[in-house]
Structure 1
């Protein structure tokens, strides 16, 4: 695990979602580090909720500090799973993210309300040896679907470097919901095309959010297009930790 300089600030652990990688947090990382926070951006395997949750849990176990655990999109399912068994997680931040109840899946929540246009933008899946499929967004459709408020050249790079998620991961129900016992904050864009904003707001209300920010006109990658707002909410959560 990384070795950080001595600080009284909690460690911020960032977990990316589907069709993305840890670099999606770059603008947030630079701001957090500039403000003196130690940061870990986890490479989420995107293989399945239980598998990914255990992986993130192992990362958390290696940290000997209080943690603010942050998840984007499908990463919200993963942090919900991982946080339930991690005593050092003191706050959760959901960034355009799922906050499922035990038994709920990302796929079920994304279709709870009309508005998600993700399914028609998916490319031909990659069939793996065990019959599970890796899913990508069609590169030509990625900018408009995933990152409509990001400069087009940057959105095209995101499209090319996206990481796949298994179809099984999106339909696998979570077993645990850390947000039931850990204070949680929510931020999302009101122009999100992957997860309906009405669902994102509903999940925040269900989780008794300590603070919810809806960024006007922001896409699904609100942490890329509006890193100041996302960083501010993460730091607000961090400041509640004694």
Structure 2
């Protein structure tokens, strides 16, 4: 038995003992004081975990435990395995949040995990099996990302992709203050070209887990039409943000946190 399963059994035993020992009123009070779910944040390509900082501050202020995953950005299957391992280390219910390519990873990582109660896609991909990030972004007009990418050859014959720092503010973060967008450009983490073209495989979590979509209407990486298409397919709850760039989680941190908390309240 894994350590996570041991903790689940212990928690279930304690809950059963409390229910037997308490009165009906006490049991109701206990449910009202149930701990809040852990929010797990998964960043996407050309970003890092620090981009979530303002969202994290708001969630923690409101009492939510938060874990920010360091997404490897090497490949969908391997990145999803890394996030699955992180999810397995978290006790109790989870709200899993993915930005951009992080949605590709979250959709696979949470499949079949009963502890993940809600998915939140922030300007993110929610693929079906057989679809890649490149394919989904190109399905609707409006993405200019390819024109801004710069390649760095890797020793294994692959290549890392970066957004040209000079073009990053306009492409990725047009509604973020320019000083901050310039810092994001320097701190961006590359993704392999192979990861963007890798097809999703196997079950996808949005097929069984309730999903929420924050759609960035002025996104130049993933067209808003593509985001709406994926949200409709998932029968997800949608919050559209007019004028928001791909970095909506930075420029509209309060809106992002609010949707995450809505998912937590409604599904946990």
Same fold (TM over 0.5): yes
- TM-score normalized by the length of structure 2: 0.86
Q: Is 1:61 matched up with 2:83?
A: no
Is 1:145 matched up with 2:171?
A: yes
What's the counterpart of residue 181 of structure 2?
A: 155
Work out the CA distance in 2 between the residues paired with 1:87 and 1:43: 22
CA distance in 1, matches of 2:89, 2:267: 19
Counterpart of 1:85 in structure 2 is 112
2:62 to 19, 35, 40: 35
Q: How many matched pairs?
A: 235
Equivalence for 1:191: 218
Q: What is the CA RMSD across the aligned residues, in angstroms?
A: 1.0
Task: Answer yes or no: is the 8 Å Cα contact 1:57–1:85 preserved in 2.
Answer: no
- Structure 1 gap segments, 5+ residues each: 1-5
Structure 2: 5+ residue runs without aligned partners? 1-32
CA distance in 1, matches of 2:47, 2:168: 11
Deviations 1:145-166 (A, max 9, x none): 0000000010000000100000
Which is helix-richer, 1 or 2?
2
C-alpha distance in 1, partners of 2:186/2:85?
29
Please give the per-residue CA displacement for 1:108-137, whole angstroms capped at 9, x wherever unaligned: 0000011100001112x1111221110000
Equivalent position SS for 1:218: coil
- Distance across 1 between alignment mates of 2:185 and 2:112: 34
Q: Tell me the CA shift for residue 85 of structure 1.
A: 3.4
* SS in structure 2 at match of 1:139: coil
**Counterpart for residue 190 of structure 2:** 164
Please tell me whether Structure 1 or Structure 2 has the larger radius of gyration of its CA atoms. 2
User: Could you tell me which residue of structure 1 aligns to residue 140 of structure 2?
Assistant: 113
Which of 226, 236, 239 is the aligned partner of 2:265? 239
Residue 100 (structure 2) pairs with residue 73 (structure 1): yes
What is the Cα deviation at residue 49 of structure 1? 0.4
1:96 is aligned to 123
Aligned counterpart in structure 1 of residue 228 of structure 2, from 201, 211, 231: 201
Q: TM-score normalised to the size of structure 1?
A: 0.95
